[in-house]
Structure 1
Amino acid sequence: MTTLPRKSLVALASATAICSLALAGCGTTDTEAQDAETSTASTSCADDSTATSEDPVTLTDDTGEEISLDKPAAKVVSLEWQYTEDLLSLCVNPAAVADAKGFTTWDTAEKLPEDTTDVGTRQEPNVETILSADPDLVIIEATSRDDKISKRLEEQDIPVMAMTGADGKDPVKYMKDTFSTVAEATGRTERAESVLADFDTKVEESKKALADADLPTKDFVYFDGWVNGSNVAIRPFGQGSLFGELGEELGLNNVWDGEVDPAYGLGQTDIEGISKVGDANFFYTGTEDPESEDYVELLKKNDIWANIPAVKDDRTYAFPAGIWTFGGPKSSEQALDAYVDALTK
C-alpha cells in the first residue's frame, strides 16, 4: 500500500485516493513491513571520526531565506522523513521528528532511536511539542514560508529551514544538495562528504554490475499503486523522479513518457495505461499492509496485466519494503542495490 508523498501532488489524484494510501501524505502507518536491510555508511556513526564544526553558520534555504546560527544546530526537529534520514546519516540524532512510527516502517535506511520525541503527523505537527524540544533548528518541507507552522515557530524565534523536497530538473543532484545543506546546518560537512563519496562509489559499482549482465532489455518503468474501489490506480515514476533517475544512472532507460508533476516526476495511470510501455521491465514498491488490499494481488487478477510482456516473461520485480522513494543518499543506495539484485539474480 502506498501514498502520495507530498502536498504538491494533490492535483494528481482525488483527496479520497490520497488518503487511502500509507507511505506519506495522509499516511496511516499500521504495518510492520520492514523487509529492506538497514543501510550504513562505510564508517558507522559508532566509529565515525569526522569532525563537527563549531563555527557560525549562514546558509540559504530553498525559499531563499537566509538562516544564521551562532553555531551549528545540535537540537534539530525534522518534520519530514527525508530530513530525519539525512540527520541520522550525518550521525545527528534528531531532538524530535514528525511521524516516528511511519519513518520506522517506511524508511529503513537508518534506525531512529526508540526514545525520539514524536511531534505528530507531518501534515499537522504539534507546535507545542516542537517547542518543548527546545530546538536550535526546525527543518520543514515547504515551497514558501507562508505556512502556519513556519509562522508560529518564527514568532517564538525558532530558526526554520524550509526545503521544497524535490526538483524534477535533476532529482539526484537535489537529493545530494539537500543532504549537504542539512550537513552545513549541523556542522557535519565532513561526514556528508564521506557519505556522498560512498553513494558515488555505489553508483559506479552498480552501473558496472548491470553493464556486465546480459539484460534482454534496459527499458523499465518504476511504479507504486493503490486500490481505489475495485480498480487499481498506478503511479509511475517518470522523468524527474528520484527512483526513475537512479535507474537511468545505472544505464537503464525509463520509458514512462506520460504526464508527470514537475517537482517529483510522478504520473498517474491505470492498468491499461501501464500496459502500453512495450517490453519494459517492471519495478514496483513492495509493501505489506494487513489493513489494506494489496494492489499487486489485484493486478494479478486482471487479464490486461497478465498479457503485458514483462508479466508474461516474469520480469516484474518488487523492491524490498521499507525503501523510501523520497529519501536521502542511504535510501538511494538501497534502491541501487534493489535494481541490481532484481536484474542479476
Structure 2
Amino acid sequence: MKTRPIAALAPVAVLPLLLAACGTTDTGADKEAAPKANASADCTADETTTATGPVSLTDSYGRSVELDKPAERVAVLEWQQVEDVLTLCLTPVAVADVEGYTTWDTAEKLPDGVTDVGTRGEPNLETLFGTNPDLVIVEAYTPEDEILKQLAKYDVPVLATKGADAKDPVANMIDTFELIAQATGREERAKVVVDDFNEHLADAKEQVSDAAGRFVYFDGWIQGGNVSIRPFGQGSLIGELGEELGLENAWTGEVDEAYGLGQTDVEGMSELGDATFFHTGTVDPDGDINAALAENPVWQKIPAVAEGRSFAFPAGIWTFGGPRSAEQIVDAYVDLLTK
C-alpha cells in the first residue's frame, strides 16, 4: 500500500514511520554538483527573490532548525514535500520513491537525475547522505518518530513537517509549504503561490455556486482478493476542499484524527447512494480498485453508480499534496460538476 503517506496506510489509526538503512550503494554522483534548477514554465517565468541570510526557525514539532544560509541541497522523504520544493522552484538532490511520485503526483514534474533513495518507509540512508544534502525534509507525526531518531545520528539539519491535521487540513497544507519556503529562503515565491491558490479557490466557488449537494470522495485497495474502500471524510484535504466549494460531505462515519480517512466496503458505500461519488482515477500498480468495482454486481446497483453519478478524477492527482495539488483537486471538482 505504497500509494498513501506512510502514516495514512491504516484508515483509522496513524501508523509509525519505520526507517531502516539498506545496503551500501555507490550513487556515482558528484557530491558537490549543484542541483538542477526547476525548469518548469512556471518557474522559468518566476521573478521572486531568494533570501541569503542565516535561517533560524522552529519546525512543526517545536524543534529548532538553524542554517548558516537557506538550504539549497535538500533531500525529501515524502511526496507532498517533494511537490512543495518543486513549487518553490528548487530541485531536491534526493527523493524517496521517484517512480511512485511520478505516478501519483503530477502537480509538479520531477526533473531527471534526482537521486532515488528507495522507499519512503525504508530509505537508504547511505545513498541519501551520499548526495551531500544541507537539509533533510521529512514528514513526522510525533516528536519521537523513529525517522527523527535515525536521522539525528547524522550531522545534517532535519526539518520535520506535520503530515496532516484533520482540524484544518487546508491550513496545515499551507503551513507546511510556508515552513519549507522559510528553510529554503523562498518565502517571496511562497506568497505568490499561496495567493494564487486562494484566488483559484475563490474563482472555483463562483463557477459551482449552484452545484450544492452531497458527495463522497474515495479511493481504496485490493487485499487478499477483497476490496477495501476508504472514504475521505471530515478533516481530509480533498473533502474539505469539496466543502469549500459548497458541497456536503456524505461520509459521517469514523475517521482518523490526522487525515480524516474512514474505512468501509461496498455495502457501506451503498448507504451513501444518494450522494455523488468521486474517486481516484490513478491506477494503483498493486491492484486496480476501479476495475474490481466495475465487476461487482452490488456496486453496479448503487444509485450513484447506476444513475451515472460516479466520477473519476484525472489520474495523478495526489490527495495529500501541496498548493498545486490542491488546485488540481479544485479543478477536478469544477470540471465534473459543470459538465
Map of 1:137-152 to 2, 5 A cutoff?
137-152=135-150
Percent of aligned pairs sharing the same letter: 58
- Contiguous gaps of at least 5 residues in structure 1: 16-24, 26-39
In 2: Cα distance, 1:275 partner to 1:225 partner: 15
Map of 1:1-345 to 2, 5 A cutoff?
3-7=3-7, 9-10=9-10, 12=12, 44-211=42-209, 213=210, 215=211, 218-289=213-284, 291-345=285-339
In 1: Cα distance, 2:124 partner to 2:225 partner: 36
Q: Counterpart in 1 of 2:31? A: none
In the alignment, is the contact (CA less than 8 A) between 2:6 and 2:121 conserved in 1?
Answer: no
Deviation at 1:100, TM superposition (A): 1.1
Q: Counterpart in 2 of 1:32? A: none
Deviations 1:228-254 (A, max 9, x none): 334321000000000001111111111
| TM-score, normalisation: structure 1 | 0.86
Deviation at 1:129, TM superposition (A): 1.3
In 2: Cα distance, 1:11 partner to 1:165 partner: 15
In the alignment, is the contact (CA less than 8 A) between 1:260 and 1:266 conserved in 2?
Answer: yes
Specify whether residues 163 and 330 from structure 1 end up closer, same or farther in structure 2 by C-alpha distance, changes over 3 A only. same
Deviations 1:298-327 (A, max 9, x none): 222333322222112201110111000100
Deviations 1:256-302 (A, max 9, x none): 0000000000010001111112411000001235x544222222233
- Matched residue of 1:232: which SS? strand
Deviation at 1:226, TM superposition (A): 1.6
- Matched residue of 2:152: which SS? helix
- Contiguous gaps of at least 5 residues in structure 2: 20-37
Deviation at 1:9, TM superposition (A): 4.2
- Matched residue of 2:44: which SS? helix
Total equivalences in the alignment: 317
In the alignment, is the contact (CA less than 8 A) between 2:231 and 2:264 conserved in 1?
Answer: yes
- Matched residue of 1:224: which SS? strand
| TM-score, normalisation: structure 2 | 0.88
Deviations 1:95-148 (A, max 9, x none): 111111111111000011110111111111111112111111101111234445
In 1: Cα distance, 2:11 partner to 2:168 partner: 22
Q: Letter of the aligned partner of 1:53 in structure 2?
A: A
Deviation at 1:63, TM superposition (A): 1.6
- Matched residue of 2:159: which SS? strand
In the alignment, is the contact (CA less than 8 A) between 2:138 and 2:161 conserved in 1?
Answer: yes
Specify whether residues 111 and 4 from structure 1 end up closer, same or farther in structure 2 by C-alpha distance, changes over 3 A only. closer
Specify whether residues 282 and 185 from structure 1 end up closer, same or farther in structure 2 by C-alpha distance, changes over 3 A only. same
In the alignment, is the contact (CA less than 8 A) between 2:139 and 2:163 conserved in 1?
Answer: yes
Q: Letter of the aligned partner of 1:196 in structure 2?
A: V
Deviation at 1:150, TM superposition (A): 2.9
Q: Letter of the aligned partner of 1:77 in structure 2?
A: A
Specify whether residues 118 and 4 from structure 1 end up closer, same or farther in structure 2 by C-alpha distance, changes over 3 A only. closer
Specify whether residues 2 and 152 from structure 1 end up closer, same or farther in structure 2 by C-alpha distance, changes over 3 A only. closer
In the alignment, is the contact (CA less than 8 A) between 1:144 and 1:162 conserved in 2?
Answer: no
- Matched residue of 2:254: which SS? coil
